[in-house]
Structure 1
């Protein structure tokens, strides 16, 4: 069992309307991880531990969009409904939000890339990160890789992730890569109550 303690933080990547079914870049099954993510948030909140949310916050002409030669449809444009969390997602009011991929000509899948996340986690004394959200094969993968590179112990929330799967095995390959790099596969039942 894993006991949550001071120095732990939860990071939930990109629970935004455009990434959920029916959104501009909707991930099949992406809404099915919300109940597990709510339970993780409840556990962290009960222990008084920090909860972080990342959000894509693209300019309307972001380089990742097909119109600019990128691979994706227009999605998560800053200050639009698609960039907001869905009404079914209820993070606590004290959760911190980090905005990423905000520069027109630079892609940023990781919550750490060109943000203050590392500095702010260190200021909170965080040493161990529990990471879930969307999408396993992009934003979760890159956030986990950066977290490990920066020296955090990283737990990958296996019941709190879902992949885009542009190719059918992308999600599984991303999970295998994160675990090979040192992320610890974790499920809700692994946490001590």
Structure 2
């Protein structure tokens, strides 16, 4: 039986990746672009699922915990929330593919307060491939949720970036040693 897979491209937006993004990870995040696009093309070519869980925030939301932690980022209908670089035209070219979709999220984990688990289970997905940013926050929290829901995890380090080299190394180690993820270089 063939394993059904989904590629998650998490939070790969201008605010997180571009030099002038509101909460940018900068050059390490920008360097992930070719690997992300390559993986996305491979998944589409093999009739696999690609989902882009994307942070959505309201400016100065007094009820959101991130308001006290980070500057405003990924605000609705802003340049900062658009996909970074070649990912935006890639998504525009594939948005009508039934196996490609974007989804809003308002918490670190792509599963928190979303129907991601239902979407994946409806498609028979058992293996999740994680890419995007930040490895040490949103990918990490998404991976913990996925692990707790019984998904097999595959991490592509060349298609991710953390807020520091140390945080990136910690997250990759945690994925492998605590969540049983396969690390693909």
Report the TM-score when normalising by structure 2.
0.88
Displacement of 1:86: 2.5
Partner of 2:8: 11
Displacement of 1:88: 2.2
Q: Report how many aligned residue pairs link the two structures.
A: 172
Partner of 1:99: 104
Gap runs ≥5 in structure 1: 102-107, 188-193
1:39 aligns with 2:44: no
Partner of 2:166: 169
Hey, which bits of structure 1, 4+ residues long, moved more than 3 A?
Answer: none
Partner of 1:154: 153
Higher helix share: 2
CA shift digits 1:79-126 (9 cap, x unpaired): 21111112421233222111111xxxxxx1010111000001000110
Partner of 1:105: none
Alignment of 1:1-193 (within 5 A): 5-20=2-17, 21-28=19-26, 29-62=28-61, 63-65=64-66, 68=67, 70-89=68-87, 90-91=90-91, 92-93=94-95, 94=97, 95-101=100-106, 108-165=107-164, 169-180=166-177, 181-187=179-185
Distance, in Å, in 2 between the alignment partners of 1:80 and 1:42 is 26
CA shift digits 1:42-74 (9 cap, x unpaired): 110111111000100111123345xx4x22111
Contact map agreement 1:64 1:72 (CA 8 A) in 2: no
| Worse-matched range after superposition: 90-99 or 45-54 | 90-99
Distance, in Å, in 1 between the alignment partners of 2:48 and 2:3 is 7
Gap runs ≥5 in structure 2: none
Report the TM-score when normalising by structure 1.
0.84
Query: What CA RMSD, in Å, does the superposition of the two structures yield over aligned residues?
Result: 1.4
